[in-house]
Amino acid sequence: MLIALAMAGAVTRVFKIGVGRARPSIESEAGWNGPSLSARFHAFPSGHTAISTAFFGVLFFVNWRIGLACLPIPALIGFSRMYVAAHYLSDVVCAAIIGALCAFLVAHFFLKEIRNPQSAIKN
């Protein structure tokens, strides 16, 4: 879960710096400003949403019943980021997709041996 969280955080950070989208609370003529190191222009994608989706997404892939119960947490985090005017809906949706992809990659590549412990014993 922590590996997926770190992956999602790194991916979103690269996008934030490269895209430079202004936050909704910033009054600017252009919403997309290009590469920027200023935190005022780091709206796309939402890092909070991406890392929470990645974290709980791995739990969903490992145990879908517990994971399904925890999936409202990233949804509430995404909603709260829009409510406080830190992100647009597109920022949150893209971040959720990034988080889900990172969770899937971690579950697919890192959890193979855990799912089938008999294959590890035979090797």
Alpha-carbon span 98 to 21, nearest angstrom = 17
Alpha-carbon span 11 to 85, nearest angstrom = 22
Q: Are 71 and 99 in contact (CB under 8 A)?
A: no
Q: What is the pTM of this model?
A: 0.77
- Model confidence over 46-59: pLDDT tens digits? 889 999 999 999 99
Is 2-26+39-122 in CATH node 3.30.1180.20? Answer: no
- Model confidence over 85-119: pLDDT tens digits? 888 898 899 999 999 999 999 988 887 665 555 65
Domain boundaries, the chain: 2-26+39-122
**Burial (Cβ within 10 Å: 0-12, 13-18, ≥19) of residue 8:** buried
